[in-house]
Amino acid sequence: MSVSSSRNLKIGIIGFGPFAQFLSKTMIRQGHILRAASRTDYSNLCAQMGISFFRNVDEFLEAENDVILICTSILSLSEVLRSLPLDRLKRPTLFADVLSVKEHPRNVLLQVYIHKEFDVLCTHPMFGPESGKDGWKDLTLMYERVRIRDEAICSSFLQIFESEGCRMLEMSCEEHDKMAARSQFITHTIGRILSEMEIQSTSIDTKGFERLVQLLENLELAFNKVKQKLVVKKNEKHI
Site for a second copy, rule CB under 8 A = 124, 126-127, 130-131, 140, 142, 169, 171, 176, 179-180, 182-184, 186-188, 190-191, 193-194, 197, 199, 202-209, 211-212, 214-215, 218-219
Please state the closest distance from residue 193 (CB atom) to a second copy, in A: 8
Q: Which is nearer to a second copy, 71 or 101 (CB)?
A: 101
**Phi-psi bin for 138: left (phi > 0), alpha (psi -120 to 50), beta?**
left
Q: Which is nearer to a second copy, 33 or 194 (CB)?
A: 194
The DSSP symbol for 235 reads H
Q: Which is nearer to a second copy, 87 or 196 (CB)?
A: 196
Please state the closest distance from residue 185 (CB atom) to a second copy, in A: 10
Radius of gyration for the alpha carbons in the chain, expressed in angstroms and rounded: 18
Q: Which is nearer to a second copy, 148 or 199 (CB)?
A: 199
Q: Backbone phi, then psi, for 153, in 5-degree steps? A: -65, -45
Please state the closest distance from residue 204 (CB atom) to a second copy, in A: 5
Q: Which is nearer to a second copy, 12 or 132 (CB)?
A: 132
98/73 Cα distance (integer angstroms): 10
